[in-house]
Amino acid sequence: MEVRKLQLIGGSSFMISLPKNWIKENTLSQGDELIITIDGRYIKLAPKKEDNRLKKVQIGKIMKYDDEFLFRFMQSLYIQGFDEIEINDLAVTSHIAIKLSEIAKRFIGMEIIHVGDEKIVLRCLTVPEMDSRSLLSRMAELISDIMDSIDNAIMFKDLNELNTAMKLEDDTDRLYFLITRYENRMAKHPSESDDKIVAKALEEIADSLMDLCFLIRNLREEPGEILILLREIRNIFNFIFHAYAEKDLVNAENAMNQLKKLQIKINESPYPFIELYRCIKLIGEVGFNNAIRKSVVEYL
């Protein structure tokens, strides 16, 4: 750890010098702009020009062209932050181009910009300066909507509501990919930030709700107990996510206590609820830790 002193300049402004090695590593020079992110007492700096630079990758022969592998392959390139993906392969055909076009629609901002000459070029058109916290909040809203749709499916015996829930789950996936991409773009060396951890937990909550949809479709008895537990989970989920977003220590503690009271019910419930519990608890723990850090900052 290195310690540096603040310097007063101009009678009203403060300045601190940055490590020369960091400047060199990020190829910065005088006049370059930095992105400043403030979180309580902590300040995070990132080179702005790193974001504006088009990050390209050229791919030769792709190992497989089946739908599942091709999706995972493109997903990995997308979330790693590549802006332009050029595929040069003799195996490229119009059929492959159609496959890639369908896959591109599953990622926010990804479009095919060139097909021909045994080459396909895809480009991500999203703006890198975005707010991952806003995207997380939107994911949480979608999950609440999914729970509402499942609730309606049970209450009104309308299985079409389960189809609505499944469409909403697709949107949570797309937002998860975008958040992960953004976090990886912002970091020189990708790491597990709190936002990435929570985004993954939200994505897995949506997946577990899809498992619950399939379970309900195949149930022969009345799902009354499932409905009661779903409503309890939904209320606690909304409470926990709000505590996480606000870094509210009191609410974070209350939410974790409420979740703990449900544990016995959860252990005796169908498998999707066990996964829901695990992921919601993870968000609660991250929120609690953040709230503790904030409270320590405020009262030092």
Long-range contacts of 65-73 (CB under 8 A, 24+ apart): 65/91, 65/96, 65/99, 67/99, 70/99, 70/100, 70/103, 71/103, 71/106
**Phi/psi of residue 248, each to 5°?**
-95, 110
Buried b (16+ CB within 10 A) or exposed e, 136-153: beebbebbebbbbbbbbb
Question: Where exactly does CATH 3.30.110.20 map onto the chain?
Answer: 56-124
Q: How many helices (H) and strands (E) does the chain have?
A: 11, 8
Pairing label, strands 7-9, 56-59: unpaired
What is the number of other CB atoms lying within 10 angstroms of the CB of residue 248?
A: 19
**Dist CA 253 CA 172 (whole Å):** 27
**Token pair of 113 as six digits:** 């910009």
pLDDT tens digits in sequence order for the chain, 300 residues long? 678 888 877 666 788 888 888 888 778 888 888 878 776 667 878 776 544 567 899 998 888 888 999 999 999 999 988 999 999 988 778 888 889 999 999 999 999 999 887 889 999 987 555 678 889 999 999 999 999 999 999 999 999 999 999 999 999 999 999 999 888 876 655 556 888 999 999 999 999 999 999 999 998 888 899 999 999 999 999 999 999 999 899 999 999 999 999 999 999 998 899 999 999 999 999 999 988 887 775 444
Q: What is the pLDDT of residue 299?
A: 47
pLDDT at residue 73 in the model: 94
Strand partners, 120: 87, 115
CATH of domain 56-124: 3.30.110.20
* Domain boundaries for CATH 1.20.58.220 within the chain: 132-299
Using a 10 angstrom Cβ sphere, with 0-12 exposed, 13-18 middle and 19 or more buried, the burial of residue 208 is: buried
280 contacts 235 by C-beta, under 8 angstroms: no
CA dihedral 284, 287, 288, 294 (to 10 degrees): -170
Tokens 């505590």 -> residue: 243
CA 35, CA 271: separation in Å to the nearest integer?
43
Q: Which option is the CATH number for 132-299: 1.20.58.220, 2.60.120.10, 1.10.3720.10, 2.160.10.10?
A: 1.20.58.220
